[in-house]
Amino acid sequence: MAAHVLIVDDQALNRILLSQMLNDEGYQVSMAFNGQEAIKVLEHEAIDIVLLDVIMPVMDGFETAKIIKNNHSDVYLPIIFITSLDDKASFEKCLEVGGDDFIHKPFDKVILNAKIKAHRRTRELSKKANQQKQLLEYHHNQIEREHEIVEHIFNNSLENQDGFKQHLDFNLSPASMFNGDMFLVAQSPIGNLYCMLGDFTGHGLAAAIGALPVSRAFYTMVNKGKAVNDIAFELNTLLYNLLPGHMFCAATIVELSASGKSISAWLGGLPDAYLIDSEGNIKKTLESQHMALGILDKHEFEYDLIHFEVNSDTRLVLATDGIIETTNKQDDFFAEDRFIATLQSKPMITCEDIIAHVSDFAQGLQQQDDVSIVLLNCLPLPMEEKPREPFSTLAFNLSLSLNSKQIKQTDPVYDIVNILSRIEGLNDHRSNIFLLLSEAYNNSLDHGVLGLDSAIKLQEDGFFKFYEMREKAISELKDAMIIIDIRYCPDTLSLHFMICDSGRGFSSQSNDVMSANNEFGRGLSLLEEIAEKVTYNASGNQVEMCYKLI
Amino acid sequence: MNLTTRTSADGKALTIQIKGKFDFNLVQSFRQAYAQIDNGTNKVIVDLRETDYMDSSALGMLLNMKKTLEDKVAVFEITNCQPQLKKILQISRFDKKFDIS
C-alpha cells in the first residue's frame, strides 16, 4: 500500500510543489494549512509521514511536532521538517521537539523520495514491533487470567486437607506457582483415614494439572471405602490414559485404620517412607514396591500392599524427592542420611523443623523442585455421628408367594432387602434386615421345604456337603411354596416379618438343645439377638419376627 | 467376582476381600481362597470393607477357615466391618476368635 503523507504548510506554493512530486511517486497525500489543522487530520486519517513547515500561523511547527509526537507515541510517526538551507539555527530546535529529518527548499525530488522511503521502512518496523508488543500483552493478560482461574479451581478441589490436625502435619513448598506435588486426605465412611502423597514428573502447571482428576477419583474411592491398592489401580488407569507418555506420578497411598492400630500402604516410586517413634528412631523403612502411577497398562498393574501394625507412639514419614535431592553450594545432596539424622534431632519433630534443616543446608540456593513432607501420627480416629435419615411415615405391606420355580431361580432375600433399603430410614438397617430375612428364609427352605438335616454339618467336611446336598435338593424341588410377608409400622417404628413354608415344619424346641457353638444353632440365636421378638407357630412351619428400628 | 484374594508384598499376609453379600453362595470360592495358602503366610485378613450383608453361613465359613488353618496361621483378622456387621460378629462372640476392627 502506498504511504500516506500529510503536508503541513501555510504556503500554497510549497503545498502544490510537494504534493505534485509525491503524487508523481504514487503516494497518497493529505494537506493542512497549520499545526492545529494537522493535528485534526491526524486524528482521523492513517498518516504515515508528516512534512511539517516551521513558521505557520495559529500553531507553528515546533509546537505541532511536540503534540504530534505525544499523541502518536505507540508507533513511530516520522516528522520531516520543511526548512530553508540557511536557517541552520532552527535545526537544533527541530530535533529537540521531536523532528526526525529535514527537507530543504528548494525541494529535490530524489532526496525527498529517498527520505520518505527510509522513514516509511522504519515506521513499518515500528508498526510490526508494536503489534507484537500488543500480542504479547494480550497473551500475558490471558495467561494471568487463566492462572487465576486455575488457581481457584486447584484451591477448591484440593482444599479440605485442613482437618485431622491431631493426625497430620504436612508441608508442601512448590518450586513455582503450581505444585507438581499433591497431598490428599480423606476419611472413609467406616472411619479409616486415607492419605496420598504424589509427585508428578516436573513441576509447575504442566505437572500440577494431573492433580485435578486424581483428587476427584481419590475422594470418590475413599468415600466408597476402597482398599488402597484398588485406589492405586483406578488412579493408574486414569493417569495412563490421560498423561503423555513421558509423564507419570510417583505416589504413596496409605490407609490408617479407624482403630489407629494398623496401616496398609501401596508404595509406587516415591523415596523411602519411614515409620518412626516419638523420638524419631526409625522402626521400619518402607521402600517403594512398584512403578509410579501412569506407567503400566491395566493388566500389568501390581496390587501388592504392605501391612503393618502401628500404635499411638508411631509416626509415618512420607516425603517427595525434593527433600533428599536438595543441594548446597558444594553440590552435595541433602540425602537420606541427613534426613534420618534430622528426624532424630528432636522428639516429636515437626515438618517446619525439617524444612528449616533443609533450607539451612541449601545455604540460600533457590529451590529447584517441589518439596513436600508429611508426618502422620498413628492415633485412633474419632467417629463422627452421622445424622440419621428420618423414617418414612408411610405404612406398607409387602407380600410374596414363591413357588418352586421361583425358589429355584431367584434370590428373594437380596432383592427384598434392596427394595426395603430404598424406603427412607431403612437403609441404615439393611444389614440387620438381610440377616433376619436370610436366616428365616433359608431355615424355611433348607429344613422346611427341602427337609435337610443340619446335623450333616457336624460331619467331617459336613459344611460343604450340606451345601452340595442343598443345591441338589433345590434342583429337584417340586410343589413347594414359601410365603414372605413384611409389614412396616411407622407409628411403632418397627418391621414385622412373617415367613411361612409348605414343609412339614421343624421343632423350635430343638433350638434350645443346640449349643451356641454348633454350626447350625448360630443362625437362630442371632435372630433372637437382632430381632425384638421371634415366635414360631406350633407346627414349626411359620416364623414371625418383630424388628425395632430404634 | 465378589471375592478377591491378595498376598501382601512380603508374602506374610493373605487378604480375602468380599464384595456385597457374604453368604452361602461363596462357600466354594471362600474355601478356595485359602486352600493354596503359602507356608510363609502367618496372617489372614478377611476384609469386609465392601461387604454389606452377612448371615450365619458366613460365620460358619469363617470358623471353618480358622479350623483348617489354625496350625499354620497365627493371626486371623476381620477388618473394616461396617457397624451392623461388627455387631453381628460381636453377638456371635467372634471377637474371642478373631481380631475384629
Which among A188, A192, A289 is the nearest to B9, CB-wise? A289
The bridge status of strand A481-489 relative to strand A396-403 is: antiparallel
Task: Kindly determine whether residue A464 and residue B7, on different chains, have CB atoms separated by under 8 Å.
Answer: no
Task: Kindly determine whether residue B50 and residue A225, on different chains, have CB atoms separated by under 8 Å.
Answer: yes
Give this complex's ipTM.
0.94
pLDDT tens for each residue of A32-75 = 999 999 999 999 999 999 999 998 888 999 999 999 999 999 99
Chain A residues close to B29, C-beta within 8 Å: none
- Chain B interface mutation, best of A187, A188, A190, A255, highest count of B Cβ atoms under 10 Å: A190
Chain B residues close to A523, C-beta within 8 Å: 55-57
User: Mapping DSSP to helix (H, G, I), strand (E, B) and coil, where does residue A438 land?
Assistant: helix
- The shortest C-alpha distance from A306 to chain B (Å) reads 6
CA A140 to chain centre: 26
What is the structure's pLDDT at A463? 82
Query: Quick one: pLDDT band at residue A105, thresholds 50, 70, 90?
Result: confident
Task: Kindly determine whether residue A414 and residue B6, on different chains, have CB atoms separated by under 8 Å.
Answer: no
What is the structure's pLDDT at A393? 94
What is the structure's pLDDT at A519? 52
Percent of chain A surpassing pLDDT 70: 96
Task: Kindly determine whether residue A442 and residue B17, on different chains, have CB atoms separated by under 8 Å.
Answer: no
What is the structure's pLDDT at A90? 81
Residue A213 sits at the chain B interface (C-beta within 8 Å): no
In the block, cell 461388627 appears at B86
Mean pLDDT across chain A: 90
What is the structure's pLDDT at A507? 56
Q: What mean pLDDT do residues A276-281 have?
A: 94
Neighbouring residues of A513: CB distance < 8 A, sequence distance ≥ 6: none
What is the structure's pLDDT at A193? 95
pLDDT tens for each residue of A337-352 = 999 999 999 999 999 9
Kindly report the pTM of this predicted structure.
0.75
What is the structure's pLDDT at A511? 47
What is the structure's pLDDT at A12? 92
Give CA–CA dist B45/A114, Å, rounded. 93
pLDDT at A251 over 70: yes
pLDDT tens for each residue of A84-99 = 767 777 888 888 899 9
Residues A20 and A13: beta-carbon distance below 8 Å: no
pLDDT at A518 over 70: no
Query: Quick one: pLDDT band at residue A172, thresholds 50, 70, 90?
Result: confident
DSSP code of A389? P
pLDDT at A456 over 90: no
Q: What mean pLDDT do residues A415-423 have?
A: 94
- The shortest C-alpha distance from A173 to chain B (Å) reads 32
Q: How many CA atoms lie within 13 A of A145 on its CB side?
A: 6
Task: Kindly determine whether residue A529 and residue B91, on different chains, have CB atoms separated by under 8 Å.
Answer: yes
Question: Would you state the cell numbers that stand for residue B11, as one nine-digit string?
Answer: 508374602
Residue A258 sits at the chain B interface (C-beta within 8 Å): yes
pLDDT at A78 over 50: yes
Query: Quick one: pLDDT band at residue B1, thresholds 50, 70, 90?
Result: low
Q: Which chain B residue's Cα is nearest to A429?
A: B84
What is the structure's pLDDT at A149? 85
User: To 5 degrees, how large is the angle CA A521–CA A527–CA A528?
Assistant: 95
Q: Which of A144-153, A373-382, A464-473 has the lowest mean pLDDT?
A: A144-153
Q: What mean pLDDT do residues B32-57 have?
A: 92
In DSSP terms, which residues pair with A377 in a beta bridge?
A: A315
What is the structure's pLDDT at A287? 94
Give CA–CA dist A44/B82, Å, rounded. 79
Residue A467 sits at the chain B interface (C-beta within 8 Å): yes
In DSSP terms, which residues pair with A83 in a beta bridge?
A: A104
Q: Which of A31-40, A226-235, A455-464, B78-87 has the lowest mean pLDDT?
A: A455-464
Which among B10, B56, B101 is the nearest to A526, CB-wise? B56
Q: Is A517 exposed, middle or buried (0-12, 13-18, 19+ CB in 10 A)?
A: exposed
DSSP code of A327? B
| Helix A228-242 and helix A211-223, axial crossing angle in degrees, nearest 10 | 150
pLDDT at A517 over 60: no
Q: What mean pLDDT do residues A168-181 have?
A: 86
User: Mapping DSSP to helix (H, G, I), strand (E, B) and coil, where does residue A308 land?
Assistant: strand
pLDDT at A250 over 60: yes
- The shortest C-alpha distance from B38 to chain A (Å) reads 15
Q: What mean pLDDT do residues A539-548 have?
A: 91
pLDDT at A320 over 70: yes
Query: Quick one: pLDDT band at residue A513, thresholds 50, 70, 90?
Result: very low
Q: Which residues of B touch A (CB under 8 A)?
A: 6-10, 13, 15, 17, 21, 23-24, 27-28, 31, 43, 45, 47, 49-50, 52-57, 59-61, 63-64, 79-85, 88, 91-93, 101
- The shortest C-alpha distance from B39 to chain A (Å) reads 18
What is the structure's pLDDT at A509? 44
Q: Which chain A residue's Cα is nearest to B81?
A: A190
Q: What mean pLDDT do residues A418-441 have?
A: 94
Question: Would you state the cell numbers that stand for residue A280, as one nine-digit string?
Answer: 524419631
pLDDT tens for each residue of A290-305 = 999 999 999 999 989 9
Backbone angles phi, psi at B86, to 5 degrees: -60, -40
Q: Is A99 exposed, middle or buried (0-12, 13-18, 19+ CB in 10 A)?
A: buried
Residues A417 and A433: beta-carbon distance below 8 Å: yes
